[in-house]
Amino acid sequence: MMAIPQKIKDEMSIRRRDFHKYPESGWAEFRTTAVIAGILTKAGWKVRFAKDFIDPDEVMGYTIDPKRERARAAAQGADKKILTKIGDYTGLTALLDTGKKGPVTIFRFDIDCVDTEEARDTEHLPAREGFASVNPGCMHACGHDGHAAVGLALAEMLSEAKDRLRGKIRLIFQPAEEGVRGGYAMSMAGVADDADYFIAMHLGLGKPTGSVFGGTGGFLCSTKFDADFRGVGAHAGGEPERGKNALLAAAAAAVNIHAIAPHSGGATRVNVGVLNAGEGRNVVPPNAHMKIETRGESDALASYVYAKAKEVIYGAAQMYDVDVSISKQGETITAESDRKLAAVIMKAAENSEGVTQREEYRAMAGSDDACWFMRRVQERRGLATYVGIGAATAAGHHNNRFDFDETAMTIALEVLLNSALLLNGEK
């Protein structure tokens, strides 16, 4: 096992705060990708950008203007030469090949932010200490800034330990986890198909600093989709009968989506997260845009609630005589961690400083598109697990006051590093 130098700990905090200050939404992580690529290349890793392997037809929820986002990233300090290499698709993989026969172990880290406006008052530590988001409507409210920082520190530590390792280690820095948009495209590209071991990690998850769970299951399948209602505008006072009200259709749909009956077969979830409609107070609203998600603890339950939501939307459109189109923006499945690999994580945690509580397995109530990787690896007879690293938080995930105890990053780094040494260390 290896001790974590203070320099590495300090760098993790600096990098995490830098990522936090410049958060980027899914598929727009150009600055983040460029920074990561520069550090990995310097550390001796072989970097491949997503554009070199991803199939555009497999990409979901790509709504950004890449030219504009690259320009923003450059203005915020990203290396322009690296930005050119990135192309239109963010994210990357990095390979450390020891040249010695051994297993292929993959670690995945997500890098995008949450689409929310960060708190600005001095009670919020990032605001008080000057690293709150400078990008409107974007905030690292789920800890992905910490994930990226841990992944970079892990890369540097593994480079130092290369002579003690065998086989290959690959790092995946994945875009667009929020909205479950990026994992599918990257997994379908086959970047984890050769994995003997696949490990994803998340900070926080409602557990205190010092707690570690080696495996997670019970992820909810999830579908993210938009609904666009198109009616007819009219003068609301002079000729209201000539209008077709898209706002009322969308409002009826929103209310009734939340009235979808639960299922006796297990847990389901629905949420209308966004509803924008109309043009002016004296205009019959000719348009409305909704962002919706549905979830279920199995493929069948997810299909049930998604189908019901679509029925509601089409029914509301018919009731108000407007047109509607539905477009899928993201999707993920469920997965279960392999207990055998989770046990390795537990052994790694035994020798990790700061670990006070260990659980081999914990059920998860949320969704994560790391499940695409997990299932694909398992179908090819590899082992996969999703590791939870507890971290005290100032508020819940996706809250605009979210912040986490940075000491948890050192715990995460040591657990992952020890896991790599157990799996890929020389026998």
Domain residue ranges in the chain:
6-218+334-424, 221-332
**Mean pLDDT of the region 152-173:** 98
Read off the pLDDT band of 366 (50, 70, 90).
confident
CATH topology of domain 221-332: Alpha-Beta Plaits (3.30.70)
Residue 420 makes CB contacts below 8 A (sequence gap 6+) with 105, 107, 154, 158, 165, 169
Give per-residue pLDDT as tens, 317-349. 999 999 999 999 999 999 999 999 999 999 999
**What pLDDT, on a 0 to 100 scale, did the predictor assign at position 392?**
98
pTM of this structure: 0.94
Question: Does residue 48 have a pLDDT over 80?
Answer: yes
Rounded to the nearest angstrom, the gap between the alpha carbon of residue 64 and the centroid of all alpha carbons in its chain is 17
Read off the pLDDT band of 2 (50, 70, 90).
confident
**What pLDDT, on a 0 to 100 scale, did the predictor assign at position 365?**
76
| Alpha-carbon distances, residue 73 vs 29, 60, 211, 322 (angstroms) | 8, 22, 36, 40
Check: CB of residue 296 under 8 Å from CB of residue 221.
yes
**What pLDDT, on a 0 to 100 scale, did the predictor assign at position 286?**
98
* Averaged pLDDT score across all residues of the chain: 97
Read off the pLDDT band of 426 (50, 70, 90).
confident
Domain 6-218+334-424 has CATH 3.30.470.20: no
**What pLDDT, on a 0 to 100 scale, did the predictor assign at position 3?**
86
Give per-residue pLDDT as tens, 14-32. 999 999 999 999 999 999 9
| Alpha-carbon distances, residue 268 vs 179, 264, 370, 403 (angstroms) | 17, 10, 20, 28
